[in-house]
Amino acid sequence: MRNIVINYNNTLCYDRGMLNSKKILITGSCGFIGSYLTMRLLQEYDVHIVGVDNMNDYYDVSLKEYRLRKINELNKDFTFIKGDISNKAFIDELFEKYHFDLVVNLAAQAGVRYSIDNPGVYIESNVIGFYNILEALRHNPVEHLIYASSSSVYGGNKKIPFSTDDKVDNPVSLYAATKKTNELMAYTYTHLYGIKSTGLRFFTVYGPAGRPDMAYFSFTNKLLKGEKIKIFNYGNCERDFTYVDDIVEGIIRIMDKGPKEDYNLYNIGNNHPENLMTFVNTLGECLKKNGLLSEDFDLDEHMELVAMQPGDVPVTYADTLPLEKDYGFKPDTSLRDGLDRFAAWHKEYYR
């Protein structure tokens, strides 16, 4: 019987020794989720990680450099290579040199709204880049490919909670379309070449050192400047906010236990959507608690209610029962706890 231990988030988990001695490729290793995953693996396992990131300027590069410094400060078996997954020659050379056991593809151009004005970037990174990874795996087999999909693939689905059994044939943004494309490509390569793959549909990931274009981060920056924040769909939105540590825990569970089938899809979400106005008020309270806003700051005066943006959806809500059944894990970090940790980090990082 395997030992049961408690991890630092006080969630029950199994002693995961199966990853020890593995050589792991993590693309997007200086991104938000990629950096957290890299650090967790290096802290808890005897692994060799090769991290790849193109360090693009979609948002402030200094934040990516900060994450990379944090990884290097661990002084573990980590090799960082600056490169772009859309460069096939680079990817082919990488796989031929390192002979990976596991691949976690988190490199992608993110952002629903950015995809409306910059579609070419998404095709290059999310479609061509993922194709390059799959082709490399075809000729250099590994035990398991895990890749990032997105809750955006559900589009305007009316049925909630969103299930991986639902049809997702009507994406409302190009970003969502590229993520659905990834799932289809992975299925094809599994069918043709036996590549074992698991796609993970992430739901609104947030936390310290996250992406500045995400609502919680951009709202904070605007409020600290005394600017107004735009509340879309007049506040009538709900989001399944998922704390980054919960996302990483789910990935590690899947990496350790391995794929249930040759081709797999899971939601990773908090299974508890929050109203947008509740989210904004909770964020305001956490910013006040951590001294970023004064106690008498009037949040209502700094909100502007506006219509829904193109490509956006009113509700996201994850059905996480398959993940819980197959891997014994369900995200459980509360929104208040997660935003409080973000506010504390923001104060330390910027001040």
The residue ranges of every structural domain in the chain are 4-206+242-271+316-333
Kindly report whether the peptide bond that precedes residue 161 is cis, defined as omega within 30 degrees of 0. yes
> What is the C-alpha separation between 217 and 206, in angstroms, rounded?
9
- Output the pTM of the full model: 0.93
On the question of pLDDT at 9 being above 70, the answer is no
On the question of pLDDT at 112 being above 90, the answer is no
pLDDT mean across residues, the chain: 93
Residue 171 has a CB neighbour count (10 Å cut-off) of: 21
**Residues 173-194 pLDDT 10s:** 999 999 999 999 999 999 999 9
Superfamily of domain 4-206+242-271+316-333: NAD(P)-binding Rossmann-like Domain (3.40.50.720)
Residue position matching structure tokens 């994850």? 318
**Residues 297-330 pLDDT 10s:** 999 999 998 887 776 777 889 999 999 999 999 9
**Residues 234-260 pLDDT 10s:** 778 889 999 999 999 999 999 999 999
Taking each helix axis as running N to C, give the angle between helix 244-257 and helix 32-44, from 0 to 180 degrees, rounded to the nearest 10.
60
83's CB contacts (< 8 A; 6+ apart) are 52, 53, 54, 90, 91, 94
Burial (CB count within 10 angstroms: exposed 0-12, middle 13-18, buried 19+), residue 247? buried
Mean pLDDT of 140-157: 95
On the question of pLDDT at 103 being above 50, the answer is yes
In 3D space, the residue among 345, 331, 340 whose CA is nearest the CA of residue 9 turns out to be 331
- Annotated catalytic sites, by residue? 175
> What is the C-alpha separation between 267 and 320, in angstroms, rounded?
6
